[in-house]
């Protein structure tokens, strides 16, 4: 069962493929009639619009390629998966749109500067431009609906590619109508407006994808939502070093949480798992969370870095119980690294006689007095149970 009804990679790929294939069919139809009737009807704006539709067709191919490879499972070379294929495709789509905008702008400006190059469009071009508005807006509405459901930035970019074509067709209608009314320069002017509009969309989509590629954090509202979910987990005292980044349509989170320093490793792990589960279940875009458990704040933790580790401490402590006769059991030892010192908790069987206990206690007391790294040694005696 998928957490929070999240869509699997295979289902996601099939949905993106199907909506994109619908777009391919629509773009083939629109591109052909725009270019054919643009040349036939002598409308530079309609030809520019046809080139825009052709770029839509190319972008559909990029989307299909990226959707296939971004849906692949994680492997040894890509442990976080292949989702950034989608991000790269979005950058490519943005760049493609910029090229279309630049070419359209240059040609339209040239014709405005040389009026003898201006064309005089016929009535059929007006009908074709109006038809394009209807087809491309329908493709936008359907594609953006699927993009929102899948949280696909790449599909959202392709949807806006459809809508930009619809907008450009509106401008083309105005330009053609104006040219037919006796203002031939309006057709070229409409082509210039189309180029600027395409460039704006290309920049906004491409720049957003580039920010994802350089691991830009999630927006402030999402960060605040993440903090709220983390702090709502029982056992979390506070959090710090919260880092987020995008991986295609997914978001990854790293965070340090401060917990009670006296709890067990397993309880600390349990609290961390609850934090991870809370974020994954309550925020659809989050797919992976790395939780670091801290018993103290960072300044205090850094003070512990020069302290001896378990093996060194236990080697010294063994001298105490090995020097006492009649002790066969190996004690259980818990170490707490806090405030630049080590607190030692030792658990011994209750069966040890009083004299041996006193000897052990004195030995540990002397050890503590002579060890600058040891804060205190606490001894606990427990009753052994028969299996």
Q: Are 296 and 331 in contact (CB under 8 A)?
A: no
Task: Give the number of other CB atoms < 10 A from CB of residue 326.
Answer: 9
User: 281: helix, coil or strand?
Assistant: helix
CA 17 remoteness from chain centre: 22
The per-residue pLDDT for 118 is 62
Q: Provide CATH code, domain 3-213.
A: 1.20.1510.10
Q: How far apart are the first and last CA of the chain?
A: 40
Q: Are 65 and 181 in contact (CB under 8 A)?
A: no
Residue of 297, 302, 295 whose CA lies nearest to 340: 302
The per-residue pLDDT for 274 is 95
Q: Is the dihedral of CA 74, 78, 83, 85 positive or negative?
A: negative
Query: CA-CA distances (angstroms) from residue 348 to 194, 239, 290, 332, 359?
Result: 83, 37, 37, 7, 13
Question: For residues 244 and 210, what is the distance between their CA atoms, to the nearest angstrom?
Answer: 16
The per-residue pLDDT for 74 is 67
The per-residue pLDDT for 158 is 77
Question: For residues 169 and 344, what is the distance between their CA atoms, to the nearest angstrom?
Answer: 77
Contact residues for 28 (Cβ-Cβ < 8 A; gap 6+): 57
Fold for the domain defined by 220-295: Alpha-Beta Plaits (3.30.70)
With tokens 């989702």, the residue in question is: 83
- At residue 249's C-alpha, the angle toward residues 247 and 252, to 5°, is 40
Query: CA-CA distances (angstroms) from residue 37 to 47, 170, 296?
Result: 8, 16, 73
With b for 16 or more beta-carbon neighbours within 10 A and e for fewer, the 179-204 pattern comes to: bbeeebebbbbbbbbbbebbbebbee
The per-residue pLDDT for 289 is 93
CA 317 remoteness from chain centre: 49
The per-residue pLDDT for 54 is 77
Q: Helix crossing, 84-113 with 153-180: angle to 10°?
A: 10
The per-residue pLDDT for 4 is 46
Q: Are the folds of 3-213 and 220-295 the same?
A: no
Q: Where are the domains of the chain?
A: 3-213, 220-295, 310-382
For the chain, give percent helix, strand, coil, nearest 5. Answer: 65, 15, 25
Query: CA-CA distances (angstroms) from residue 141 to 28, 44, 134, 182?
Result: 18, 28, 11, 35
pLDDT tens for the 387 residues of the chain, in order: 344 455 666 777 788 888 888 888 888 888 888 888 888 887 766 777 777 777 777 777 777 776 676 666 666 776 666 667 777 777 877 887 788 788 778 877 877 777 665 656 777 888 888 888 888 889 899 889 988 888 777 788 778 878 877 877 887 788 778 777 777 777 777 778 777 877 887 787 778 777 777 777 888 999 999 999 999 999 999 999 999 988 766 788 999 999 998 888 899 999 999 999 999 989 888 888 999 999 887 777 777 888 888 998 888 888 777 766 656 667 888 999 988 899 999 988 887 888 888 888 888 898 899 899 999 999 988 887 665
Q: Is the dihedral of CA 89, 90, 91, 95 positive or negative?
A: positive
The per-residue pLDDT for 260 is 92
Q: Does domain 310-382 have CATH number 1.20.900.10?
A: no
């Amino acid at each position: 069962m998928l957490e929070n009804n999240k869509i699997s990679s295979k289902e996601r790929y099939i949905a993106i493929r199907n909506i994109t294939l619908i777009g391919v069919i629509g773009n083939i139809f629109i591109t052909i009639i725009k270019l054919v009737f643009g040349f036939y009807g002598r409308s530079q704006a309609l030809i520019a619009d046809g080139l825009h539709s052709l770029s839509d067709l190319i972008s559909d191919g990029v989307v299909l390629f990226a959707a296939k490879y971004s849906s692949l499972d994680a492997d040894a070379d890509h442990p976080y998966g292949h989702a950034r294929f989608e991000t790269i495709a979005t950058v490519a789509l943005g760049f493609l749109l910029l090229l279309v905008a630049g070419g359209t702008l240059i040609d339209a400006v040239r014709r405005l500067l040389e009026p003898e190059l201006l064309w005089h469009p016929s009535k059929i071009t007006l009908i074709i431009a109006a038809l394009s508005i209807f087809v491309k807006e329908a493709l936008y509405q359907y594609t953006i609906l699927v993009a929102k459901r899948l949280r696909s930035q790449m599909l959202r970019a392709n949807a806006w590619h459809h809508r930009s074509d619809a907008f450009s067709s509106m401008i083309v209608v105005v330009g053609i109508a104006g040219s037919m009314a006796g203002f031939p320069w309006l057709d070229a002017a409409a082509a210039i407006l189309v180029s600027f509009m395409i460039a704006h969309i290309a920049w906004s989509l491409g720049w957003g994808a580039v920010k994802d590629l350089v691991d830009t954090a999630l927006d402030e509202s999402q960060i605040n939502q993440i903090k709220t979910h983390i702090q709502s987990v029982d056992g979390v005292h506070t959090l710090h070093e919260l880092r987020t980044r995008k991986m295609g349509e997914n978001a990854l989170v790293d965070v340090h949480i401060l917990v009670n320093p006296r709890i067990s490793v397993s309880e600390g792990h349990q609290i961390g798992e609850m934090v991870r589960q809370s974020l994954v279940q309550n925020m659809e875009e989050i797919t992976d969370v790395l939780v670091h458990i801290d018993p103290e704040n960072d300044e205090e933790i850094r003070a512990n870095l020069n302290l001896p580790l378990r093996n060194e401490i236990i080697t010294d402590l063994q001298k105490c119980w090995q020097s006492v006769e009649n002790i066969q059991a190996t004690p259980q030892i818990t170490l707490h690294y806090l405030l630049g010192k080590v607190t030692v908790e030792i658990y011994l069987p209750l069966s040890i006689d009083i004299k041996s206990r006193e000897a052990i206690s004195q030995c540990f007391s002397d050890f503590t007095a002579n060890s600058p790294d040891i804060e205190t040694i606490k001894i606990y005696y427990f009753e052994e149970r028969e299996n």
